[in-house]
Structure 1
């Protein structure tokens, strides 16, 4: 048992020991927001020590009782002196194994009264208890990998989330994000911003939530089936900041999108309406640019004709009459015309003209329709006119 603990616990530090030189290379694989960059200007060979009979607990015995990531688990001179006679080396005596300062501190000259380069291993932005894992007989190699071919350990030997999920599957151990990741006191959601970086799902994460390029185009399906996971990090206001259509994200709509959007709008109006409201956004914008019946006359283009001549479009019933066209694609009409445009002719309240928009025989069913929901009726009719038509 003791030997297993040692094999496992050495890996804990192994992962910390190597970081100084290798952090830039492994930063692509281990999030800086979780494991901040380390600087460990040491010369060390785990493979050599394990081959010589050293075990994990030989150098990292403190890990067995550690309950916090803030605990320092790297060995100091005290642990090294169990094998390396540092005091004899300081006196100039020959030692085996070597124990001079520059054995582990390359470039350090003890004759110059300066301290060796500082080892900097920042605290990981995680909640972790080594003791709990050791008590449950989790081997060090389970999380940190085998060290038999590792020299100076790096951030590459720190566990990734996929490794954690081998046990944290909701059955053996909790799979809630807050089990390991720090949370914000006020909201309970995960803390995303740290001095070392921003927490963001990376490529290959086990949840399939790679927030890489173009994720804004693909996140909708995942959010609809696993919203609770999204809510671990995001509030509803985060969604609304993009979906309220008040600001155009350049990643969604490229430059000069104004000249291109009609084509996409005709092909995929449902996608457009997931962010934009036709009446408050499309119609309003079209009016400001001179498109639409309610636009200022000075803004209307003089060389563009959208509809057929007035008689064909308004007066004479036929295949090009606006009523027929509207019944086929009302969404297209609504992109330029507001509801008030229709009511200017088709409402009982209109002072301009009152053209009945209902089909023949509608009077026989109007009472049933009004009793079911008269909100649509009252758009054009008063209570009095509904009663007069027998709809009350």
Structure 2
């Protein structure tokens, strides 16, 4: 094996491993649509403060009255000054614990610039009230984890949905999506935020990971959990793919035109969820020469679809086209239109007329015509029906 090729193969393998690790990490990540990215230019150690005797309320006392997620329940200088003598440190005095600006704002020198770098902590895109949770005696550690092992808290200390479901199980607390998630005027969940698009990630407790290739297995889940899907998606959203006007390129693999007959014969109903036999399949087959109504110059000479003419048309038996059509008319409709059948079976045709009805059909034709004569009028005129006693 060429050395250059081996090296390239090795790089490719490493990239696959790295991609796998990155994807696996999303199980521990928080959605940017819920918790926007943060910039926290601070030096802080939660573990050190807790070990020194501080508790959560020492620095975050405002959470006891906080009722919305946009509240910024973080300590400012007044809370810090309970222990840190900031004024003395600014005068150059030695303090214990340290209270200089650089203690919390690394690299900041007030003699060079007046203000330290600002924190960027966008609020969570959620409906949430700390007050209600604290009134119900929910401990901080329940949602934020063990802070005795955490230095600077980030998005990683914010609760994931699996944590919320430990209480929001539909019994102890509501598990409706709109209990926590923002919604639009339509009543559906808001999916688009400036920080990202809301979609279930790996590790989603509902088992709705919308990861790669989800379009191939979402149908079975949508069939049994349609109400859950409708919390985010409208019927018009589904129709963007399922009306067959624009096919997502990820649905079919490369060279699917060559392979599609196998799947179409074994799972035609799946094909029909997007494609209409007459307006899509038959039209395409005629354009490429596969189909009775295709231009003769386009028809392939090496393709044999049906048995020999006598077996297929003249001799009654299991391979006769009428028997095959009665077993699976969809297969016929993939290449033939109604006009193909009527060219031989309609009284209105100029060609030889072959009666497709079984013996004794005339005894029931009047009843069938009275129920719905649209099928009858495809091949018979009003006068013909009257003459046959079907009127």
Bin the TM-score by the shorter chain. 0.7 to 0.9
Hey, what's the Cα distance between the residues in 1 that align with 2:247 and 2:271?
12
Hey, what's the Cα distance between the residues in 1 that align with 2:317 and 2:57?
90
Query: Structure 1-normalised TM-score?
Result: 0.87
Hey, what's the Cα distance between the residues in 2 that align with 1:371 and 1:68?
67
Q: Does 1:221 pair with 2:220? A: yes
1:197 to partner: Cα distance:
0.8
Alignment of 1:63-82 (within 5 A): 63-82=63-82
Residues 89-120 of structure 1: per-residue CA shift (max 9 Å, x gap): 11111111111111111122233224222211
Larger RCO of the pair (alpha carbons < 8 Å, separation 6+): 1
Residues 262-304 of structure 1: per-residue CA shift (max 9 Å, x gap): 1221222222122111111110111111211111233222443
Alignment of 1:85-234 (within 5 A): 85-185=85-185, 187-234=186-233
What residue number does 1:337 align with?
336
Q: Is the 8 A contact 1:189 1:231 kept in 2?
A: yes
Hey, what's the Cα distance between the residues in 2 that align with 1:202 and 1:369?
55
Q: Is the 8 A contact 1:313 1:322 kept in 2?
A: yes
What residue number does 1:37 align with?
37
Q: Which blocks of at least 5 consecutive residues in structure 2 are unaligned? A: 1-24
Hey, what's the Cα distance between the residues in 2 that align with 1:177 and 1:301?
56
Query: Structure 2-normalised TM-score?
Result: 0.88
What residue number does 1:16 align with?
none
Hey, what's the Cα distance between the residues in 2 that align with 1:207 and 1:304?
49
The size of the alignment, in residue pairs, is 367
Q: Does 1:274 pair with 2:273? A: yes
Q: Is the 8 A contact 2:292 2:340 kept in 1?
A: yes
Hey, what's the Cα distance between the residues in 2 that align with 1:341 and 1:197?
53
Q: Is the 8 A contact 1:26 1:156 kept in 2?
A: no
Residues 39-96 of structure 1: per-residue CA shift (max 9 Å, x gap): 1111111111111111111111111111222211111111000000011111111111
1:320 to partner: Cα distance:
4.3
- Cα–Cα, structure 1 residues 27 and 36, in superposed 2: closer, same or farther, change >3 Å? farther
1:318 to partner: Cα distance:
4.7
Secondary structure at the counterpart of residue 148 of structure 1: helix
Q: Which blocks of at least 5 consecutive residues in structure 1 are unaligned? A: 1-24
Provide the alpha-carbon RMSD of the alignment. Answer: 2.1
- Cα–Cα, structure 1 residues 383 and 136, in superposed 2: closer, same or farther, change >3 Å? farther
1:331 to partner: Cα distance:
2.3
Alignment of 1:6-17 (within 5 A): none
- Cα–Cα, structure 1 residues 86 and 169, in superposed 2: closer, same or farther, change >3 Å? same
1:328 to partner: Cα distance:
3.8
Hey, what's the Cα distance between the residues in 1 that align with 2:277 and 2:318?
25
Q: Is the 8 A contact 1:46 1:148 kept in 2?
A: yes
1:167 to partner: Cα distance:
2.3
